[in-house]
Structure 1
Amino acid sequence: MRLRLSLLLLALSCASVLIGARQMEWQQLFSMSGDAWLTLTASRLPRLAALVLTGVGLSVCGVILQHIVRNRFVEPGTSGGLDAAKLGILVSLTLAPAAGTASRMLFALAFCFAASMIYVAIIRRIKFRNTVLVPVVGLMYGSVLSAIAEFYAYRHNILQSMQGWLLGDFSRVVQGRYEILYLVLPVVALAYLYAHRFTVLGMGEEMAASLGLGYAATAALGLVLVAVTVSASVIVVGAIPFIGLVVPNLVAMRYGENLGRTLPIVALGGASLLLACDIVGRLLMYPFEVPIGLTAGGVGGVLFLILILRGLR
């Protein structure tokens, strides 16, 4: 399966490099000169790297959240994480308007981590929890955070700035404006290193304690990894929903929930799905581009409803 996904990712990567408003041919690229080479190095390859890193990061942090909350229908888009990150960026625009990308990311990280902690605390206090209740609570919680963000933006007259983060969009990604996404690499490495602990975490607090695992510390580490990934992706490309929900579920349905074995498959699947959604968005209205937030939201939303109905049955 890893080999097939790797080949699929390679094929989608080649297609992503070649598709665009400016047509390019392989012989132009091999010449390593002219406008084609500049387009490749300054735009196409940075966009490809951003797509792969974002897809890997969102799918991995989705599976981490699902093990912490013990619900397979949870991800940053259904637990308030994305909305909290957007609120953090808006706050940074008013409190530190001259701040750079790294400073804004720190605001987004802090808000995302705090919102995730509150969400986990809310879920732990709900005694009756079925498959659907947990993501419904998360969607309601995210709606409240989104309303707060819109009110804050309206009050400070920066509502137009907020529109840039409502839908994910990779068209702005160029060389020098995406490199903060490489923070996803150490996040994925730590997630793989702690894969066994996150797997035990998904068995419940009592089981984790009986096996000698520090539940609170491991959950906090997982939420930090999620906050870093979400804040980096939102600050660069905006909010992209459902990637962290769909891919881990599809992988778990076939390969189980042992993260030591399935985490590489989840990462490859997330990158491949996001690349496919991006290619579809670039071809639907060619040479114009549909924001990937729409294509990923449409595909992910349909799959999410299918998973919800299967969960009800």
Structure 2
Amino acid sequence: MILLRSGAFFPLIVMSLAFASLVLASLVTGAANVSFEDLLLDPEGSSLLLVSRLPRTLAALLAGASLAVAGVIMQMLVRNRFVEPATTGTGECAALGLLATTLLMQNSSILAKMAVSSVTAFAGSAVFLTLAHRLPPTQPLLVPLAGIIYGGVIGALTNFIAYEFDLLQYISVWMNGEFSGVMQGRYELLWASGVLAVGAYLYADRFTIAGFGKETATGLGLNYKSVVVLGLAIVSLITSFTVLTVGIVPFVGLVVPNIIRRFKGDNVRATLPLVALTGGCLVLASDLIGRLINHPYEIPASTVFGIVGTCVFLWLLYARPQRRV
């Protein structure tokens, strides 16, 4: 009762209510006008629910939650609040790995594509992390700028190779996150992203300490190198799973952690559940808005969230931080 009166659970209660409302709205929204009662009682409606709408809803929630968690980890490792996998070249490297697999191993399985894209995403993230640590710490905006340029170079290389081999259509699918093609049997990799997000929570305290820097973390007894490798592995796997399943959804890992951080602080263990819940809700809301703006046609969730993310990013740049009493 004391905690409830003090408002400690208020953000979590609000997000839980928003979560339930968005899930119900997503299940009843689509090109076919089917009521919630028909989805439960009518055989055709139940088939539509299980094959299409429920997987799509779960995919949006899992992608948003895992990308938000990946953003928190990346920001802690880089020690900069304005980076995320989509602005550090991680997503572009994952797409490059998928393109290489498509060209060199045409009959490869989904596991092979996942493995190659994860390795390239890990390597690309490691290169960016090395570059970021060489930039002057007094200029924090240089880090996301370098990440955007770095990702742009890799993206240009990927597009050039795809153009030469007439595979630009594949690149457009991987680089634009949207959920219209999600069906039962085509989104299950995102459950692995959810498992990785839970694993990140188990190591949340280590990521918090790593955010203090190598010297401080080592002085506190942390094996800094192993934590960095673990963090990059989680970020790379989440990014490759998301790109392979629904494409890149930009700004999720940038916007969500910064919003929560302004109100809840930098303790990763304390904020990570709320970050995951907020990320899932915002991506699902973006997908829902994309379905409703020009119904029955759809706008990709990445486009909707990109507009929202740009506005929030500008607000984060110019708004004064909240003073703590």
| Both proteins in one fold, TM over 0.5 | yes
Residue 165 of structure 1 aligns to a residue in which SS? helix
Aligned length: 311
Q: Structure 1 residue 311: deviation in Å?
A: 7.8
User: Which residue identity lines up with residue 208 of structure 1 in the other structure?
Assistant: A
TM value normalised by structure 2 = 0.93
TM-score (norm 1): 0.96
Tell me how far 1:7 sits from its aligned partner.
1.5
Q: Secondary structure at the match of 2:174?
A: coil
**Whole-angstrom CA distance in 2 between matches of 1:290 and 1:260:** 35
**1:150 corresponds to which of 159, 168, 172:** 159
In structure 2, the residue corresponding to 1:308 is in which secondary structure? helix
1:104 alignment counterpart: 113
User: Is the 2:178–2:287 contact (alpha carbons within 8 Å) kept by the matching residues of 1?
Assistant: no
Residue 14 of structure 1 aligns with which residue? 24
Query: Deviation at 1:126?
Result: 1.9
For 2:161 and 2:320, the matched residues in 1 are separated by 37
Query: Counterpart in 2 of 1:27?
Result: 37
Q: Displacement, 1:247? A: 0.4
Candidates 96, 101, 113, aligned match of 2:122: 113
Distance 1:2 1:65, change over 3 A: same
Alpha-carbon offset, residue 27 of structure 1: 2.0
Distance in 1 (CA, whole Å) between partners of 2:91 and 2:263 is: 28
2:220 alignment counterpart? 211
Q: Would the aligned equivalents of 1:131 and 1:311 in 2 still touch at CA under 8 Å?
A: no
Within a 5 Å distance, the mapping from 1:147-296 to structure 2 comes to 147-296=156-305
Q: 2:132 aligns with which of 108, 123, 126?
A: 123
Letter in 1 for 2:16: S
* Structure 1 counterpart of 2:87: 78
- Shift in Å, 1:292: 1.0
Equivalent of residue 70 in structure 2, options 61, 67, 75: 61
- Cα deviation digits, residues 142-180 of structure 1 (max 9, x gap): 000101101111122212221212211100000011111
Q: Does the 8 Å CA contact 2:135/2:142 hold for their aligned counterparts?
A: no
Q: Which residue of 2 aligns with 1:94?
A: 103
Contact 1:132 1:311 in 2 (8 A): no
Structure 2 alignment gaps of length 5 or more: 1-10
Shift of 1:69: 0.4
Whichever residue aligns with residue 299 of structure 2, its letter is V
Deviations 1:14-65 (A, max 9, x none): 101111011111221231x422111100000000110111011000000000
Give distance in 2, aligned partners of 1:119 and 1:152.
22
The separation in 2 between residues aligned to 1:30 and 1:40, in whole angstroms, is 8
Residue identity matched to 1:5: M
1:106 and 1:274 map into 2 onto residues whose CA distance is 26
Report the identity percentage.
40
Letter in 2 for 1:13: V
CA–CA separation in structure 2 for the residues paired with 1:110 and 1:138: 19
Shift of 1:304: 1.3
Q: Aligned letter for 2:196?
A: V
Aligned counterpart, 1:41:
50
Letter in 2 for 1:14: L
**Aligned counterpart, 1:51:** 60
Residue 20 of structure 1 aligns with an amino acid whose one-letter code is G
CA distance in 1, matches of 2:112, 2:180: 23
Shift of 1:4: 1.8
**After superposition, what is the alpha-carbon deviation per residue over 1:191-233, rounded to whole angstroms, capped at 9, x for unaligned?**
1111001001111111101100011110110000001100001
Partner SS, residue 175 of structure 2? coil
Deviation at 1:128, TM superposition (A): 4.5
| Structure 1: gaps spanning 5 or more residues | none
The AA in structure 2 aligned to 1:103 is: A
Structure-2 separation of matches of 1:102 and 1:136: 33
